Amino acid sequence: MTTNSLTTSQGAGRAGDKVFSGAAMAAGCLILAVLFGVALFLVVQAIPALTAPAADIQGGHGFFAYIAPIVVGTLIAAVIALVIATPVAIGVALFISHYAPRRLAAGLGYVVDLLAAIPSVVYGAWGAAFLAKEISPAYDWLATYLGWIPIFEGPASATGKTILTAGIVLSVMVLPIITSLSREIFLQTPKLHEEAALALGATRWEMIKMAVLPFGRPGIISAIMLGLGRALGETMAVALVLSSGVLTASLIQSGNQTIAAEIALNFPEASGLKVNTLIAAGLVLFVITLGVNMIARWIITRHKEFSGAN
């Protein structure tokens, strides 16, 4: 009987391979298991709230009437944060990667990263004790001169503890996330593409539009989505800054609430069906975040053909 000499393998080298692939697989499965566990917990705990008679839910008009205003409030706060933070973050990232002298760039990058190291409760305290007070004259001005726009309708909050202030605090908090990710992406732009643009007679800004931003587009979107994730889920800063209330169109009056802050403020004293209601609110937040990430992924893959990866 002949044996194929190629079938005998060298045992020692393969063992390490198996251990590594096993460890990698275990890590991958663990993350799925944790995610599934959290989702399962949320769904099971939320069912009583979702099936309870409308009158038993806080507010007395059922779960949907309870959750809808705070979903809108959450989205408003997150959108304000991103609208402010995104252009600033991309500008700072471009400055660090393509304009600033090398030494200044390193220092500035470090300072921006430090912003991410500040605990959110500190941001909350700063927003409530300092920013809200300082910014309320600006709200008065907005109410006086731009009050005809519904989102700036007066009278402005005297304390300045509004959803707009919360959004501004959130924008400072997501700024370092978007900045440092975008900066890393911009630095990775292939020299070849930058030189191609410059050799055609592009100015520096035209080179950035032609080579750097298109190359960095998927990375920028990912960075924004990570920032959005933080803005949607941020609890402490919003809980401290926002003087919450019913859903209000005006951004400069007190009112509105976000899901995360609603849960944090009410959970300690909640019992019975109220706990289930808050967990159901958490489930809604989970679904929103998941949806946002899936949309981001779809946007990134939509232009795969032109991504430069091929």
Q: How far is the CB of 211 from another protein (least distance, A)?
A: 7
Q: Figure out which of the listed residues 129, 200, 294, 295 binds another protein, where binding follows CB under 8 A.
A: 200
Calpha distance 150→70 (Å, rounded): 19
Task: Give the list of residues 6+ apart from residue 84 with CB closer than 8 angstroms, or none.
Answer: 167, 168, 171
Looking at residue 306, the DSSP 8-state letter turns out to be G
The label of the residue with tokens 């090398």 reads 102
Q: Figure out which of the listed residues 198, 249, 270, 300 binds another protein, where binding follows CB under 8 A.
A: 198
* 306 binds another protein, rule: CB under 8 A: yes
CA neighbor of 160 nearest in space, from 251, 69, 260:
251
Alpha helices in the chain (DSSP H): 11-51, 62-94, 102-117, 120-126, 132-145, 163-187, 191-199, 204-207, 213-233, 236-241, 259-266, 273-302
Q: What count of Cα atoms within 13 Å lies in the side-chain half-sphere of residue 100? A: 17
Which one, 132 or 197, has the nearer CB to another protein? 197
Q: Figure out which of the listed residues 196, 265, 292, 300 binds another protein, where binding follows CB under 8 A.
A: 196
Q: Figure out which of the listed residues 192, 269, 271, 272 binds another protein, where binding follows CB under 8 A.
A: 192
Q: Figure out which of the listed residues 14, 61, 302, 303 binds another protein, where binding follows CB under 8 A.
A: 303
Task: Give the list of residues 6+ apart from residue 36 with CB closer than 8 angstroms, or none.
Answer: none
* 199 binds another protein, rule: CB under 8 A: yes
Q: How far is the CB of 84 from another protein (least distance, A)?
A: 27
* 305 binds another protein, rule: CB under 8 A: yes
Calpha distance 167→173 (Å, rounded): 10
Window 204-233: contact mask with another protein (x via CB under 8 A): --x---xx--xx-x----------------
Contacts 24+ apart (CB under 8 A), 300-303: 300/218, 300/221, 300/222, 303/217
Q: What is the largest CA-CA distance in the chain?
A: 97
Q: How far is the CB of 159 from another protein (least distance, A)?
A: 47
Size of the site for another protein (CB under 8 A): 27
Which one, 108 or 210, has the nearer CB to another protein? 210
Q: How far is the CB of 305 from another protein (least distance, A)?
A: 6
Q: How far is the CB of 108 from another protein (least distance, A)?
A: 18
* 15 binds another protein, rule: CB under 8 A: no
Q: How far is the CB of 8 from another protein (least distance, A)?
A: 41
Window 79-118: contact mask with another protein (x via CB under 8 A): -----------------------x----------------
CA neighbor of 265 nearest in space, from 249, 287, 285, 242:
242
Applying CB under 8 A, the residues found at the interface with another protein are 102, 190, 192-203, 206, 210-211, 214-215, 217, 303, 305-310
